Each structure stands twice: as C-alpha cells, then as structure tokens.
Amino acid sequence: MLEGKVAIVSGGTRGIGLEIVRLFKKNNAQVILFGSKKETVDKAVSSLNNEGLNVEGYYPNLNDPNEINKVMKKINDQYGHIDILVNNAGMSSNKKIEDTTYEDFKQIMDLNVNAIFNLSKAVIPYMKGQNNGVILNTSSMVSICGQPSGIGYPTSKTAVNGFTLSLARELAPFNIRVNAVAPGITNTDMVSNLPKEMIDPLIKTIPLGRIGEPLDIANAFLFLASDMASYITGVVLSVDGLARN
C-alpha cells in the first residue's frame, strides 16, 4: 500500500509508533523513525532489522527547529522526496491539577504540540515542492471526552485536533492531506503507567469489550497514509471501540 513512499515516524521506538513503523515497512515504504535518545533508537532499529525490516533512525531534539531542519534535509537529499510524516511522539500525565507545575504542563505541550508544529513546518516545503504528501498526527479519545486527571494531556490532544483541521485546509491546494488518529485505550507502556482504578472503569464502557492493540491503531494510520484515503483530509479518526461519551 505504500510502495515507493518515504515515511518519517516520530515516537517510533515503542508502542503505537513502533507498530506504525513495522506496518509501513511491511507495506514497502522506506521508513525513518525518530526517538528521544540514541539508546532507544538503536534498540528499535536493531529489533526491526532482526525481523528483516531494515529501517533508519535518528534522535533529533524535537523542540530545536534547526536540528530538525538539518535531519529533514538529510533525508530528502538521500531519498529525493518525503511523502509521509507521522507525528506520534508524545507523553501523558495523571497528576491532579494542584500537583501539576507549570514545568510539568509545559513539558507536555512542548512534546505533544510544539514538536508537531516543528516537524510539520520542516517537512512541508519538501511536500509542496512535489505537490503531494501526507501528514498524520496522533490525537486521543481524551481530546473528545477528557479525563479525570492529568489536564495537560487532553489539552494537548485537543490542540492537535485544531492543528490538524486547520493545516488540512491550508495545505489542500498543494495536494497535501492532513489527518489525525484518536486512539482509545490501547495496550501500550503509556497506558500501563496509568493507575488501574482509572483504566478498569473505562474498559467497562467500551462496547467492543476490550482495549485496543497497537496494530489496531497502526492499521488506521496505514489506511490514511495510503492512496486509498486520497480524498480524505481534515479528519480526526476515532479508533476506540466506541469508548466515548
């Protein structure tokens, strides 16, 4: 489904991001994953290579536009084009607001929102030059229904939705599609770090009767990245087993 495409996936070393990298590669894309540090990038690249899925990895500071621009130029120079950007890097929180410092809140916004701006802005000139491209952002079900603590995370994901819808309108004349996927409760490290008393009641509200797996979410990204979704832009696609209010 992605034959000949060059895809960049931030937050690609574990969880949903790693599954996106794996699935894109299995669908014949050239995939470059971004991670937060050398150790995690090297580990993910080695693991995928052992599966016969040869990928590359970088660990740029996602809040340093100059560093990001250099990496994007290097990738474009190497492959001649960049077709897909998946903005998946992110972090969560479960602190009550009275326990959340400004620094806590800012850290979430820097990674979940500002990094998306930096990565998208860096890749857009290359996509405009080829009059084609796909930008996909990871949102969350909590952008729709909120969560009982950890105010920074749903705030950031609501911002991702607004970013997605607005950028889709701005870039449509250049044949660049911008969409988001809003996962529900998914079996990842991020969810495993949340308290059981927060997760169990939510699972009971899911009509499909289970939490999602990373592959469930990656499949949605694959569809939106592919030409099968060539007439879809400005959509926030919920993949949550109907786990919404």
pLDDT tens-place values along the chain, 245 residues long: 999 999 999 999 999 999 999 999 999 999 999 999 999 999 999 999 999 999 999 999 999 999 999 999 999 999 999 999 999 999 888 889 898 899 999 999 999 999 999 999 999 999 999 999 999 999 999 888 887 888 889 999 999 999 999 999 999 999 999 999 999 888 887 677 777 787 788 788 889 988 899 999 999 999 999 999 999 999 999 998 886 65
CA distance 118 to 13: 19
| CATH number for 223 | 3.40.50.720
In a domain, 245, yes or no: no
In a domain, 244, yes or no: no
In a domain, 130, yes or no: yes
Rg (CA), the chain: 17
Task: Tell me which residues are annotated as active site.
Answer: 153
In a domain, 1, yes or no: no
CB 8 within 8 A of CB 34: yes
pTM for this model (two decimals)? 0.93
Name the domain count of the chain.
1
Give the tokens for residue 12: 């690609």
Determine which helix (DSSP H) or strand (DSSP E) holds 123, and give its type and residue range. Answer: helix 115-130
The owner of tokens 């599966």 is 51
Q: Which of 149, 29, 33, 163 is nearest to 89 (CA)?
A: 33
In a domain, 31, yes or no: yes
Range of the domain at 108: 6-239
